[in-house]
Chains A and B, each alone.
Chain A
């Protein structure tokens, strides 16, 4: 009996170091954040007074609703684009094409470029006055006036495009790893049954990739909600708030307005929001897997 109990306890004992680390690096800062969200706190964490739910009032304003809507567009369109481009590239790079190693290396490049540098580079490339894209399009006679890629109308679409460019390599790497685990026998059997091309992809490849896709999608979603530097460097959240995402609002609240309490309230909301979506995604996936 004693041995049985010990065996049951063993996994929990092994988990203890991990739990301690999680508490140290996650629970304590989280508690701090929660505490700040109900208080008036200055930039360096000095507690001034309790604020009750005052810091959360911003979450029911029209400005915040618009920011949340914009962030959802950024996340959904960004992830959809990453999946579309990433899946096509992963399937292509899984084929035995000449120079496959070279292309696989090239695809990873955007991933390893730091966000700040990538943002600066794109803002130069897309600049409407002397950016290379506009210069090229004008020289080729394809446009008569420079396109304002970072103007109020196109700025959000532009940063979503850049997000896709930056996020595709992660998905390609994940899908390539998953594609390589599909046994050759499955492909042969499918071919014998006449499942070729689109049919093969839809009925064989896609279901086998689904667990990896759900996991990658969840990670990409969490990243997309928290990306700050890439967009801030390119547009600063403008023009006219066209690219102000939740992460930028948090930054502005904390470091421009000096309102750590307000920033913490938005951060808590964002964390809960992402966690709930991630929970349902994972739950649905595990149900389908069963």
Chain B
């Protein structure tokens, strides 16, 4: 009996000492992180994406920061996109998020709604040069309806029309006049298909985030509003008959493009919208919708300048104008950050014209700062429409359920495009799916 009691006491002591060790370790880690070694400050900067891609781009940026701030040690890290969803939230729950981190939309609204991100709107407004350097349209996309800004936009891109000038010439169309409206895009695609035999429009409708983004862009271009209201936490077409009617028109147009006009490549249902990029590069389609992300992959041809067969145009306008959604990721600071001044200083450094240009040009992003526009890195003809597009962009759902909402949009739009559902059924499907899966 005595032996058993002794064994139990020893076990309890061991468990307690282990628990004490582990919690003590965490505390000391935190302290060390703020103070750094030798009394130096220490901050960590995290970029989502591949470390082999991020490291060479950010190493000089981090070096210049430490050169100007010798009392601060900077650790630069990268995290794979697919790891981020669970890892960032876990780090947030443990108050272990890095001092400065690059946030994308899918993770950003989730972290913000959990209270893990600082509202940077006051700091941003307080920096006159930075706030004046970012176009209002981008600020709007990154700001909630109640005026909160959880990340400073740094990586953006909006859809536009990419077209092959040679096919335009062969079809008797002006290679310097890409389609301006949806009707023009369809009409030009018909002409090209008839005259050249090459599908006039590359069209992909797999039910992915990319197709949801295309659908959202059409919706905003037809209605003039974002597809999701973050204040009401529902679709903007749910209570508005006019928007619903216009959305039904969008979906009907999708069905006609997919089935009736005969202007697309075969089997659109198998193609992701961005998957068309390869077909476009190889001359198998004459036009398609894509964003700045295509620049890196088509660069060889684009850099031929005047002789390049590719060019870009604004996203085809609907009745309300040209309003493609803006992919808008950026730099955030956690709510629990111990030294927000230092973190904000780093964000300002990252957002300086020189560093932002390095980030944008080498990663394949748009030059969002006014001070970047027209510089050598972004001087090709194809940049004009991509940059101009930034003035009229709309927003993806600003909601922590954005992935689920966009999946519902993509599924419904695909069903309408393939005529498995009528536009009205597809709209009801989107509403019902989101209502039944929405997590508060």
Binding site for B on A (CB under 8 A): 42-44, 46, 127-130, 145-146, 148, 150-152, 236, 238-241, 252, 255-259
Contact = CB atoms under 8 A, between A and B. Distances in A.
B74 interface: no
A236 B270 CA distance: 11
Contacts of A241: 411
A236 B418 contact: no
B271 A129 contact: yes
B279 A130 contact: yes
Interface stretch (B132-140, B143-151, B261-269, B287-295): B261-269
A148 B269 contact: yes
Interface string B382-413: 00000000000000000011011001000100
A152 B110 CA distance: 33
B439 interface: yes
B85 interface: yes
A151 B268 CA distance: 9
A180 to B, nearest CB: 44
A128 B266 contact: yes
A146 B403 CA distance: 33
B397 to A, nearest CB: 13
Contacts of A151: 267, 269-270
Given A236-B208, A256-B403, A129 B265 contact: yes
B418 A259 contact: no
Contacts of B271: 129
Contacts of B404: 256-258
Contacts of B414: 238-240
10 contacts: A43-B89, A44-B93, A46-B93, A128-B266, A129-B265, A129-B266, A240-B207, A240-B411, A256-B407, A257-B404
A65 to B, nearest CB: 16
Nearest 6 A/B pairs, CB to CB: A128-B267, A148-B267, A257-B404, A257-B437, A239-B269, A150-B270
Interface on chain B toward A: helix, strand, loop, or mixed SS? helix
B195 interface: no
Contact of B206 (A46, A238, A259): A238
A258 B401 contact: yes
Contact of A252 (B266, B278, B407): B407
Nearest to A241: B411
B19 interface: no
B32 interface: no
Given A129-B271, A130-B278, A259-B437, 7 more contacts: A42-B439, A43-B86, A43-B89, A148-B270, A236-B207, A240-B207, A255-B403
A240 B205 CA distance: 11
